[in-house]
Amino acid sequence: MNKAIFLDRDGVINKEMGHYVFNREEFEFEPGIFELCLRARQSGYLLVVITNQGGIQKGIYSIEQTDTLHIWMAEQFKMEGCPLDAIYLSPFHKDISKNLLSKPSSLMIEKACAKYQILPGQSWMIGDRERDIMSGKRAGCSTVGIGSDTQHSGSDIWVASVQELLAIDFF
Ligand SMILES: [Mg+2]
């Protein structure tokens, strides 16, 4: 069996811009994210991205643009010595259609757990929105909230930034 760090994308891996990010020009890595992932891998964790990309269903950008961005993003992680094991995304938006996939549902995490034999009880979900924390808790993971939106979400750990999280030996 395996353990994993589940990572939300916008606001955790890359900076939250306040609008949809779908090209690399606007994709700015969060300071400390590679070091965090490197440490996680060295501690035996798989790295799995769990991201809502509701802008796809809204027609703001395409699944192809998202795939192109994620292939590039995955290459950067590989070059930094901490390759990602998987990326799960939900293209749906709750304003357009109800769906079971998007966070706060835990379905993407559960799919990853089934495919990669991950024990949620030994795993962590890191996110910057309450829906990330809810998703992690529903799956049975421990949770890290980053930033003001998650301050009162009931996450196991709360920090202001990824860099602050590096100072805590949480896993
Ligand atoms: Mg986010």
CA 133 / ligand 1 centre spacing (Å): 11
Enclosing H/E stretch for 142: strand 142-146
Question: 135 CA distance to ligand 1 centroid (A)?
Answer: 12
Four-way CATH pick for 9-100+107-117+132-139: 3.40.50.1000, 3.40.50.300, 3.10.50.30, 3.40.50.880:
3.40.50.1000
Nearest to 135, CA basis, from 104, 102, 92, 111? 104
Query: How does residue 171 score in pLDDT terms, banded at 50, 70 and 90?
Result: confident
Among 10, 85, 128, 132, the active-site one is 10
**Residue 85 designated active-site:** no
**Distance of CA 148 from the midpoint of ligand 1 (Å):** 12
Identify whether 10 is a catalytic site residue. yes
Model pTM score: 0.97
Mean pLDDT, the chain, whole residue set: 97
- At residue 83, the pLDDT reads 98
Asked if residue 169 has pLDDT above 90, the reply is no
pLDDT over 90 at 166, yes or no: yes
Give the distance (Å) from ligand 1 centre to CA of residue 105.
14
Instruction: Tell me what percent of the residues of the chain surpass a pLDDT of 70.
Output: 100
**Cα distance between residue 144 and residue 72, in whole Å:** 26
CB 8 within 8 A of CB 50: yes
Domain boundaries along the sequence of the chain: 9-100+107-117+132-139
pLDDT digit string, tens, across residues 66-100: 999 999 999 999 999 999 999 999 999 999 988 99
Neighbour order of strands in the sheet with 142-146: 86-90, 45-52, 3-7, 124-127, 142-146, 157-159
Nearest to 33 by CA among 72, 77, 85, 67: 77
pLDDT confidence tier of residue 170, bands split at 50, 70 and 90: confident
Q: pLDDT by residue (tens digit) across 95-115? A: 998 899 999 999 999 999 999
Per-residue pLDDT band at 120 (split at 50, 70, 90): very high
